[in-house]
Structure 1
Amino acid sequence: MANGNRAQATQRPRRHFNLKSRVATCFLALIVLFGISLLIIWLVIGPKKFVYTLENGSVQNFNLTDNHLNATFDFVLRAYNPNGKVSVYYDYMESTMTYEDQTVAFNTIDPFFQPHRNVSRVETKLVALNLTLSPSTFKDLRIEKSSGEIEFDVYFKSRIRFKVGLWKSNHLTQRIVCSSVTAYLSWYKHFEKIPCEVKDYMAELF
């Protein structure tokens, strides 16, 4: 009897170990299959980076008085979707302008849908209304104003969803950075196009 009990005690751990090993193997196989499926889908879709360019900009009613700024900035963001099978929903989008790390203007943009292989132009009007500036920012802006051109940074933050066929992704956050944007106060100087950089999810997806 003693020998029989020992044999049963020895078999139970082995069976338990074998069960855990089989579960782990199945789980690993599912992960591998899922990864291969994603890779195949990725290769079939062939996603390409979205391209953004700030292609137009102007300034109206620029006025500096007693450490306060009043101005209206109009920009046009060119959004190019080169993908043949991927469309995108821009469910929320905001634009921000900064000067020396101080936000000087902000606005939101109406939601829109961009189909595949499409160029969309997004217009935004950024208004600085009696904005209080720090003494150093006011001083530097006044100096740049006298030169007739001012350099800003313009940012776009979006909540987007991708669409491929009937499938739609969850919401993703996208940040577009347009650095060193020169706004001319003289009418005879034309705006120079600025290529913008895409932050966040793009680095992982593409």
Structure 2
Amino acid sequence: MTDQSRPATGYPAPPQNGYPPPPQSNYYYPNYNAPQPYYPSQPRATFFRRFFAALIAVFIIFGVILLIVWLVLRPRIPSFTVDSVTLSSLNTSTSPSQISGTWSFHFSVANPNHKLHVYYDEIEARLFYRNSLVSQNQLPPFDQGTKNVTTMDAQLVASSAYLELDLVNKLKDDRSRGSVKFDVQVLALVRFKAGGWRARRRFLRVFCDDLSVAFSSNSTKGNLSGGPRRCSVDI
């Protein structure tokens, strides 16, 4: 006798709740990334980003302003020319090793700028023989207008100044050949000004090298030979 409570084999099982089961889907779901949790930006990181952005903007604006000023003013470095040199009372000794003399220099200083005035606040002149300092002196300050040429005189005196014995002998040899070469440096603190605009003070360096002073035989006086000499200028 057949048991009615057991399902017949070979047939699908009857639904448990009276409804047929849902159909199985063959659709493949790819890997699904769940949304990441939202973390608000840190206040400190935001501050630094804004700070650096503002700093870069300030540098850009400052650079543009400098470029505009340069294009408008077109600043140029002054030029220096040695017009004449007079050496008097040159005397050397080997015991002790000393040098004495008076050097008088006459310079022409030109301001080539059309819109900039130049102010020379502090000026110092130095005299060298073969890279050895012989004398130095402070010069009076002055100022220049635009497109102006100003004369500047410098007198350098050596009174029994020490000079190495080897250099004293070389100076004597040069003098016996008829000429001695000296170097002059001019150091100055300068300012450029145009109307209400003023630039910060700058250090101006002038190099006048190989100034040949010619002597006649057995004379203690000499003068610049070869005509005026243009100096190199750095700022």
For the criterion TM > 0.5, the same-fold answer is yes
Alignment of 1:50-65 (within 5 A): 50-65=78-93
The aligned residue for residue 192 of structure 1 is 227
Q: Which amino acid aligns with 1:143?
A: D
Q: Which has the higher strand share?
A: 1
The aligned residue for residue 115 of structure 1 is 145
The aligned residue for residue 169 of structure 2 is 139
Q: Which amino acid aligns with 1:34?
A: F
- Flag the 1:89–1:178 CA change in 2: closer, same or farther, 3 A: same
Does residue 113 of structure 2 align to residue 83 of structure 1?
yes
Per-residue deviation at 1:185?
Answer: 2.3
TM-score, with length taken from structure 2: 0.76
Per-residue deviation at 1:146?
Answer: 1.2
Alignment of 1:88-167 (within 5 A): 88-167=118-197
3-state DSSP of counterpart to 2:187: strand
Q: Percent identity?
A: 27
Distance in 2, Cα, partners of 1:152 & 1:140: 12
Whether the 8 Å CA contact 2:85–2:224 is kept in 1: the answer is: no
Q: Which has the higher helix share?
A: 1
3-state DSSP of counterpart to 1:178: strand
Q: Which amino acid aligns with 1:41?
A: V
- Flag the 1:59–1:191 CA change in 2: closer, same or farther, 3 A: farther
Which of 41, 51, 54 is equivalent to 1:26? Answer: 54
Whether the 8 Å CA contact 1:87–1:116 is kept in 2: the answer is: yes
1:37-69 superposed Cα distances (whole Å, 9 cap, x missing partner): 110111011122321111111111111233321
RMSD: 1.9
How many residue pairs get aligned? The number is: 192
Whether the 8 Å CA contact 2:103–2:156 is kept in 1: the answer is: yes
3-state DSSP of counterpart to 1:184: strand
Per-residue deviation at 1:171?
Answer: 2.1
1:116-174 superposed Cα distances (whole Å, 9 cap, x missing partner): 11001110011111112211011001111112211011000111111111222222211
Distance in 2, Cα, partners of 1:175 & 1:161: 14
- Flag the 1:171–1:48 CA change in 2: closer, same or farther, 3 A: closer
3-state DSSP of counterpart to 2:153: strand
Per-residue deviation at 1:12?
Answer: 4.3
